[in-house]
């Protein structure tokens, strides 16, 4: 039987703060495949996340049996590349001042110190933020637009820059994108559609550059919308999910596990020939060219009824 085997591999998943989003599902999927997993958590969520994990409030059951064990949790604010980039006032902010390090470079250095050189096999970018996501693009400020691109797209570049040297041969990186990179999604504003378009473009370029430099494969998953805690910031996420439910090619919406299993596959040896790809996991919604109106025949391949 051909199975995803990630035994002996070390994964780092950036952007995990609860057990409701795609990031957590990916953590569980790669762990179920046998990988050891470390995560990066945004500092304002770090204490809550750690306490929830310690108190058994998170769903740690693995597909196929067993329980998830996270090797290490690193504080990570991927808006900042190196210690010199952190504003002085943020260093003194209550949720940051007691942390040893939370920039991308700090975390890369910490992983090297904890596991040595050539230690990583899997790199997952589950990071996105747009402070003005509820504003239309016409109403988005320059600062809001650049913040969205910085947190949601350039952060992937930064993570690959600094963690690529830690990747072992055959390593893979995967990020999460959204259909707004390709099509207009009303309500998904604040520059987030531009950020996702940049992320997809960067995926192709990084596949070439990081592939030639470190042998790293780089792909991104265009997932359908899910009403996670983070996605609530969009403001109309429930309507977006309902629309997908009615109009996807297969009917219904993808689950977190659908996306997580795809991520595990892309990061496994089974996908050794795949890189530079934007892979849609959305029940075929991206393929639709019109609304799936209820009065259309449920079976488009059914033979037409005979007259008389």
Active-site amino acid positions: 178, 188
Residue 229 to residue 253: CA distance in whole angstroms? 17
Residue identified by tokens 């910031």 is: 233
The neighbouring-strand residues paired with 41 are 75
Residue 29: burial class (beta carbons within 10 Å; 0-12, 13-18, 19+) = buried
The two tokens of residue 35 are 């990988």
DSSP string, 85-141: GS-HHHHTSTTTTT-S--SHHHHHHHHHHHH-SS-EEEEEE-----TTTTS-GGG--
The SS3 of residue 219 is: strand
The two tokens of residue 203 are 């995926």
Element holding 244 (H helix, E strand)? helix 237-247
> Is 282:244 a contact under the CB 8 Å cutoff?
yes
């Amino acid at each position: 039987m051909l199975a995803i085997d990630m035994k002996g591999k070390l994964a780092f998943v950036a952007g995990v703060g609860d057990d409701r989003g795609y990031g957590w599902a990916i953590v569980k999927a790669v762990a179920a495949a046998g990988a050891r997993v470390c995560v990066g958590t945004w500092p304002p969520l770090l204490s809550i996340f750690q306490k929830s994990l310690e108190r058994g409030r998170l769903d740690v059951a693995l597909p196929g049996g067993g329980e998830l064990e996270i090797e290490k949790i690193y504080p990570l604010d991927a808006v900042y590349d190196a210690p010199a980039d952190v504003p002085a006032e943020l260093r003194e902010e209550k949720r940051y001042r007691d942390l040893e390090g939370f920039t991308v470079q700090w975390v890369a250095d910490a992983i090297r110190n904890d596991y040595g050189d050539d230690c990583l096999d899997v790199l997952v970018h589950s990071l996105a933020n747009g402070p003005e996501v509820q504003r239309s693009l016409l109403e988005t400020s320059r600062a809001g637009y650049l913040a969205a691109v910085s947190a949601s797209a350039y952060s992937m570049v930064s993570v690959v820059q600094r963690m690529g040297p830690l990747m072992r041969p055959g390593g893979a990186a995967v990020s999460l994108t959204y259909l707004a990179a390709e099509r207009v999604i009303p309500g998904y504003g604040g520059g987030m559609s531009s950020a996702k378009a940049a992320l997809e473009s960067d995926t192709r370029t990084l596949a070439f550059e990081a592939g030639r430099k470190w042998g790293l494969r780089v792909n991104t998953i265009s997932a359908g919308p899910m009403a996670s805690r983070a996605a609530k910031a969009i403001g109309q996420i429930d309507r977006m999910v309902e629309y997908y439910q009615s109009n996807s090619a297969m009917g219904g919406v993808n689950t977190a596990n659908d996306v997580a299993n795809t991520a595990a596959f892309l990061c496994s040896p089974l996908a050794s020939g795949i890189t530079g790809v934007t892979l849609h996991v959305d029940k075929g919604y991206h393929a639709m060219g019109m609304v799936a109106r209820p009065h259309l025949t449920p079976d488009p391949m059914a033979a037409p009824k005979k007259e008389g």
